[in-house]
Amino acid sequence: MTIALTGCGGSSGGGGGTATVPAGKPVAVSAKDYSFTPSTIHVSAGRIRFDLTNDGAQAHDLHVDKDGQDLGGTSVFGPGSTQSATVKLAPGTYDFVCTVGNHEALGMKGKLVVQ
Ligand SMILES: [Cu+2]
């Protein structure tokens, strides 16, 4: 199965949703001002590739955090493109955030459950 990401085509904010990504498949995430879709992701442990598409109007990134420690992620990049980052993760629960400005506080955060 692939992960379907649909644009909301209207009001800002939003985001959300839960995705379960099969082992070995990239995790596709959409960034908007200011949310991630999906915002809850279930993946299998190992080297996990994130493909972040910036569907917003500002620059964004995606970094994986564990207890406030930055475990890696994409660089900051502008609207209309996609960047990938691979992070090796053991089973556990992680956060993913946008590290630009105060975007995390504005809602650019999600939960990553690694099994
Ligand atoms: Cu951002």
Amino acid symbol at 107: G
Categorize the per-residue pLDDT at 16 as very low, low, confident or very high, splitting at 50, 70 and 90: confident
CATH of the domain at 25: 2.60.40.420
- Name the helix (H) or strand (E) containing 75: none
Q: How distant is the alpha carbon of residue 55 from its chain centre?
A: 12
Range of the domain at 36: 19-114
Residues near ion ligand 1 (Cβ under 5 Å): 60, 98, 100, 103, 108
Distance CA 77, CA 61 (A): 7
Q: Is residue 4 part of a domain?
A: no
Tens of pLDDT, residue by residue over 65-100, are: 999 899 999 999 999 999 999 999 999 999 999 999
For residue 83, report the distance from its CA to the centre of ligand 1, in Å.
14
Distance CA 29, CA 69 (A): 21
Q: Are strands 46-54 and 63-66 parallel, antiparallel or unpaired?
A: unpaired
pLDDT of 3: 52
For residue 39, report the distance from its CA to the centre of ligand 1, in Å.
14
Q: Is residue 13 part of a domain?
A: no
Q: Is residue 49 part of a domain?
A: yes
For residue 13, report the distance from its CA to the centre of ligand 1, in Å.
12
Q: How distant is the alpha carbon of residue 65 from its chain centre?
A: 11
For residue 56, report the distance from its CA to the centre of ligand 1, in Å.
8
Q: Is residue 7 part of a domain?
A: no
Under a CB-based contact definition with an 8 Å cutoff, are residues 29 and 38 in contact? Answer: yes
pLDDT over 90 (residue 11):
no
Number of domains in the chain: 1
For residue 9, report the distance from its CA to the centre of ligand 1, in Å.
19
